Chain A
Amino acid sequence: MNERHTISILMENASGALSRVSGLFSARAYNIESLAVAPTEDPTVSRMTVVTTGSPEIIEQITKQLNKLVDVIKLVDLNDGGPHIERELMLVKLRTAGPEQRAEFKRLADIFGGAIVDITEVSYTIELSGTRERLDDFIEAAGVRHVMEMARSGVLGLLKGSKALKA
């Protein structure tokens, strides 16, 4: 039975670190749904969030193999670490045809807690963050046929409460 897991990884902010992780996934035929990476408050440390799917045995192997990478300082499987928060950022450009539709997209953005960040005569660009499902819901509500283009960040996650993953 395949499960979806979100793994947070602290690693040395060294060149090639990202390719070590992505290379590991392809070399061992693991699934990778999304991957987000950026430096942390300590510029020598990057935090990477990987969303993957697999059987419990495969997920265990993935965390072990990631831990084995020499650049990896620490990691936590957020699904095993207790309650956690997941968010993803989306920028989506919607084609707007007429005032009625513009009003509708504005309402939708308000309902979903998004913001219109760019406007032209024929389009709105909306910024929205939330869980993956919530972003999917927005797209469904707006209608896929109206999407001119979109970019999503991949999932970010933190454990709830005062527990923290620190280098």
Chain B
Amino acid sequence: MTERLRGAEIFVRALADEGVEFVFGYPGGSVLHIYDEIFKQDKVKHILVRHEQGATHAADGYARATGKPGVVLVTSGPGATNCVTGIATAYMDSIPMVVFTGQVATALIGNDAFQEVDCIGITRPCVKHNFLVERVEDLAETVKKAFYVASTGRPGPVVVDIPKDVTANVAEYHYPESIDMRSYRPTVKGHPGQIKRAAQLLLAARKPMIYTGGGVVLDNAAEHLTRFARLLGYPVTNTLMGLGAFPGNDPQFVGMLGMHGTYEANMAMHHCDVLLAIGARFDDRVTGDLEKFCPEAKIIHVDIDPASISKNVPVDVPIVGSVSSVLTDLIEIIEGSDHTPPNRDSDPWWQQIAEWRKLDCLRYDRKSDKIKPQAVIQSLYRVTGGEAYVTSDVGQHQMWAAQFYPFDKPRRWINSGGLGTMGFGLPAAIGVQLAFPDSQVACITGEASFVMCVQELSTALQYGLPIKIISLNNRYMGMVRQWQEFFYDRRYSHSYMDALPDFVKMAEAFGHVGMRIENPADVDGALEEAFAMKDRLVLMDFITDQTENVYPMIAAGKGQHEMHLAPNERELA
């Protein structure tokens, strides 16, 4: 017998039946019926954030670390608009997330009611899909559809806008086991003929390159990729979003590629004869000048999203399908061939790569009397044994983290790659630490990014989350300053952070531990001390060298072979 329930109860029951662990949210007028139902149960745990943007980033961090959709619940009007940045962040990085927004009652929609916005209209360009629930009878099925759409195919955020009267009205409750939508059936299996062509090209390659992105992480295909790449014995590079999908310490790994990628990764891209792109989207930060991109290469592109293929770069062998499925098929063909991996000590292509590697493009001054940000990341790597979940904000510190903390496992590196959202790191760390309470969670940030969502320090206290915040404080918006130094004749327009707070006192005011580290000799000890505090959030304010820049670098509009290394070293062309 089906039960008749109020919409609010249907909603909370549906979340429980969907297996939702955490809802990140903030109450308000139009969702009060729902919050009343949340109060009455204990299956779905609600995490009270301090700003709705924080809720979206926390849900996003949870999703990136676990692979399960993150869930957000906010009220109408400003509650919904505060979520937009977080929704767009998830959209750009294809993160599964379901955001439930309250809405004014159906009879009031369009009347400029109190706390009314056109949430469907505002979010439409930055969601995978959105729904307005007009009748309580549709509520349970819409919740199911939202989770289904968010987590299948190319994942992405889905918004469900729920008017207040829908949560008050009564209907029979039935949560569908599965869902079939005639308009939405993503392709999973790759075309066998195309896969065969791809294998032939790869086996015949003399200067092959494997370039993989966030799609490998999203499809939980890191093991497939590692097995496949080792079978072939070819060099592998990862995008910023793809780090960890192939072990960062593996000799076949040539580092991240792109604007701040390694010299060897970018040179190998430029000179390769066969490029296999997997779950990557040829982003402008990766390709540089498209006219100069991989001039000699036949390009194979595996992606679940047909629209990503040949969008920026024309592709020779397109394969639409899930990364894990296509890699499984490719592995079968390679295993059935007589291929043996090239000997890295004698193969001419690997020898060439070794030459590029010798430049040691990530070197920096290790004898400086100032704290070098790179050294802090390397120390963090040692102290955490390379096992931490690392979230980051956006800017120089993000690039240094990507360069100097090699990730051997997927879902450990959590950052806003596509949208580049400052303020992401702390709330994302909250989502990660909730999912993995016993793991080390580090948030690498800068003093500019950090304050953008600093209010979430209270959330971390409320739920006892022992996050370790590593703030690389150079008193500048470092990446902006770097561009102004290079391209604007050192006119540092508004990139200087004057009137900074005392971060140690700030941490203490929020109920946490604060540390200021000003001497390079104290870096290791401070990190060890902080990570030894298993049950406390520690904010470490590292006063770093203000002049340090991120190298190597491909300037905007240049080709991948036109990197420049640190100053006083030869420009490479």
Nearest chain A residue, comparing its CB with the CB of B184: A70
User: In the bound complex, do residue A70 and residue B306 qualify as a contact, i.e. CB atoms below 8 Å apart?
Assistant: no
Which residues of B lie under 8 Å from residue A64 when comparing CB positions?
306-307
User: In the bound complex, do residue A11 and residue B183 qualify as a contact, i.e. CB atoms below 8 Å apart?
Assistant: yes
Distance (Å) between the CB of B198 and the closest chain A CB?
Answer: 20
Distance (Å) between the CB of A136 and the closest chain B CB?
Answer: 34
A15-36 residues with Cβ-Cβ distance < 8 A to B are: 15-16, 19-20, 23, 27
Nearest chain A residue, comparing its CB with the CB of B314: A57
- Please count how many residues in chain B sit with their CB below 8 Å of the partner chain's CB atoms: 19
Q: How far is A19 from B120 in the complex, measured between Cα atoms in Å? A: 10
Indicate if A127 sits at the interface (CB-CB under 8 A). no
- Please count how many residues in chain A sit with their CB below 8 Å of the partner chain's CB atoms: 20
Nearest chain A residue, comparing its CB with the CB of B125: A27
Distance (Å) between the CB of A148 and the closest chain B CB?
Answer: 34
User: In the bound complex, do residue B310 and residue A71 qualify as a contact, i.e. CB atoms below 8 Å apart?
Assistant: no
Q: How far is A45 from B109 in the complex, measured between Cα atoms in Å? A: 25
Which residues of A lie under 8 Å from residue B124 when comparing CB positions?
16, 19-20, 23
Indicate if A76 sits at the interface (CB-CB under 8 A). no
User: Scoring B residues 145 to 164 as 1 if CB is less than 8 Å from chain A, else 0, what string do you get?
Assistant: 00001000000000000000
Q: How far is A61 from B182 in the complex, measured between Cα atoms in Å? A: 22
User: In the bound complex, do residue B305 and residue A68 qualify as a contact, i.e. CB atoms below 8 Å apart?
Assistant: yes
B83-139 residues with Cβ-Cβ distance < 8 A to A are: 120-121, 124-125, 128-129, 132, 134
A92-117 residues with Cβ-Cβ distance < 8 A to B are: none
Q: How far is A79 from B311 in the complex, measured between Cα atoms in Å? A: 21
Q: How far is A27 from B127 in the complex, measured between Cα atoms in Å? A: 13
Q: How far is A104 from B493 in the complex, measured between Cα atoms in Å? A: 70
Given contact pairs A19-B124, A70-B128, A167 touches B307 in the complex (Cβ within 8 A): no
Given contact pairs A16-B132, A20-B124, A67 touches B184 in the complex (Cβ within 8 A): no
Nearest chain A residue, comparing its CB with the CB of B308: A64
**Across the A-B interface, how many residue pairs have beta carbons closer than 8 Å?**
38
Q: How far is A57 from B310 in the complex, measured between Cα atoms in Å? A: 8
Dominant SS among interface residues on chain B: mixed
Indicate if A65 sits at the interface (CB-CB under 8 A). yes
B278-305 residues with Cβ-Cβ distance < 8 A to A are: 305
Q: How far is A67 from B120 in the complex, measured between Cα atoms in Å? A: 20
User: In the bound complex, do residue B182 and residue A70 qualify as a contact, i.e. CB atoms below 8 Å apart?
Assistant: no
Nearest chain B residue, comparing its CB with the CB of A74: B183
Q: How far is A68 from B183 in the complex, measured between Cα atoms in Å? A: 9
User: In the bound complex, do residue A12 and residue B125 qualify as a contact, i.e. CB atoms below 8 Å apart?
Assistant: no
Indicate if B1 sits at the interface (CB-CB under 8 A). no
Q: How far is A16 from B131 in the complex, measured between Cα atoms in Å? A: 9
Indicate if A3 sits at the interface (CB-CB under 8 A). no
Indicate if B556 sits at the interface (CB-CB under 8 A). no
Interface core residue of A20, A27, A64, A71 (most chain B CB under 10 Å) = A64
Nearest chain A residue, comparing its CB with the CB of B145: A70
Q: How far is A19 from B132 in the complex, measured between Cα atoms in Å? A: 14
Q: How far is A64 from B305 in the complex, measured between Cα atoms in Å? A: 9
Given contact pairs A15-B132, A60-B310, A64-B306, A70 touches B125 in the complex (Cβ within 8 A): no
Of the candidates A65, A70, A71, the one whose C-beta lies within 8 Å of that of B307 is: A65
Dominant SS among interface residues on chain A: helix
Which residues of B lie under 8 Å from residue A68 when comparing CB positions?
305-307
Distance (Å) between the CB of B121 and the closest chain A CB?
Answer: 7
Indicate if A73 sits at the interface (CB-CB under 8 A). yes
User: In the bound complex, do residue B132 and residue A71 qualify as a contact, i.e. CB atoms below 8 Å apart?
Assistant: no
Which residues of A lie under 8 Å from residue B134 when comparing CB positions?
15
Indicate if B573 sits at the interface (CB-CB under 8 A). no
User: In the bound complex, do residue B307 and residue A19 qualify as a contact, i.e. CB atoms below 8 Å apart?
Assistant: no
Which residues of B lie under 8 Å from residue A73 when comparing CB positions?
182-183
Which residues of B lie under 8 Å from residue A57 when comparing CB positions?
310, 314
User: In the bound complex, do residue A70 and residue B132 qualify as a contact, i.e. CB atoms below 8 Å apart?
Assistant: no
User: In the bound complex, do residue B121 and residue A19 qualify as a contact, i.e. CB atoms below 8 Å apart?
Assistant: yes
User: Scoring A residues 49 to 67 as 1 if CB is less than 8 Å from chain B, else 0, what string do you get?
Assistant: 0000000010011001101
Q: How far is A94 from B106 in the complex, measured between Cα atoms in Å? A: 44
Of the candidates B132, B183, B307, B310, the one whose C-beta lies within 8 Å of that of A12 is: B183
Indicate if B500 sits at the interface (CB-CB under 8 A). no
Indicate if B181 sits at the interface (CB-CB under 8 A). yes
Distance (Å) between the CB of B418 and the closest chain A CB?
Answer: 15
Interface core residue of A20, A68, A167 (most chain B CB under 10 Å) = A68
User: In the bound complex, do residue B129 and residue A70 qualify as a contact, i.e. CB atoms below 8 Å apart?
Assistant: yes
User: In the bound complex, do residue A61 and residue B121 qualify as a contact, i.e. CB atoms below 8 Å apart?
Assistant: no
Which residues of B lie under 8 Å from residue A16 when comparing CB positions?
120, 124, 132
User: In the bound complex, do residue A67 and residue B306 qualify as a contact, i.e. CB atoms below 8 Å apart?
Assistant: yes
User: In the bound complex, do residue A61 and residue B307 qualify as a contact, i.e. CB atoms below 8 Å apart?
Assistant: yes
Distance (Å) between the CB of B126 and the closest chain A CB?
Answer: 9
Nearest chain A residue, comparing its CB with the CB of B183: A73
Q: How far is A61 from B309 in the complex, measured between Cα atoms in Å? A: 9
Nearest chain B residue, comparing its CB with the CB of A72: B183
Distance (Å) between the CB of A14 and the closest chain B CB?
Answer: 9
Distance (Å) between the CB of B266 and the closest chain A CB?
Answer: 25
Which residues of B lie under 8 Å from residue A167 when comparing CB positions?
182
Which residues of A lie under 8 Å from residue B314 when comparing CB positions?
57
Distance (Å) between the CB of A165 and the closest chain B CB?
Answer: 14
Nearest chain A residue, comparing its CB with the CB of B305: A68
Which residues of B lie under 8 Å from residue A61 when comparing CB positions?
307, 311
Nearest chain B residue, comparing its CB with the CB of A60: B310
Which residues of B lie under 8 Å from residue A20 when comparing CB positions?
124
User: In the bound complex, do residue B149 and residue A70 qualify as a contact, i.e. CB atoms below 8 Å apart?
Assistant: yes
Q: How far is A93 from B413 in the complex, measured between Cα atoms in Å? A: 65
Which residues of A lie under 8 Å from residue B129 when comparing CB positions?
70-71
Q: How far is A64 from B181 in the complex, measured between Cα atoms in Å? A: 18
Of the candidates A23, A60, A67, the one whose C-beta lies within 8 Å of that of B125 is: A23
Distance (Å) between the CB of B150 and the closest chain A CB?
Answer: 11
Q: How far is A19 from B118 in the complex, measured between Cα atoms in Å? A: 13
14 intermolecular pairs with C-beta atoms under 8 Å apart: A11-B183, A15-B132, A16-B120, A16-B132, A23-B124, A57-B314, A64-B307, A65-B307, A67-B306, A70-B128, A70-B181, A71-B129, A73-B183, A167-B182
B residues bordering A, Cβ < 8 Å? Answer: 120-121, 124-125, 128-129, 132, 134, 149, 181-184, 305-307, 310-311, 314
A residues bordering B, Cβ < 8 Å? Answer: 11-12, 15-16, 19-20, 23, 27, 57, 60-61, 64-65, 67-68, 70-73, 167
**15 extra A-B contacts, CB within 8 A, seeds A11-B183, A15-B134, A64-B307:** A19-B121, A20-B124, A57-B314, A60-B310, A61-B307, A61-B311, A64-B306, A67-B307, A68-B305, A68-B306, A70-B149, A70-B183, A70-B184, A71-B129, A73-B183
6 closest residue pairs by CB, A with B: A64-B307, A70-B129, A73-B183, A70-B184, A27-B125, A64-B306
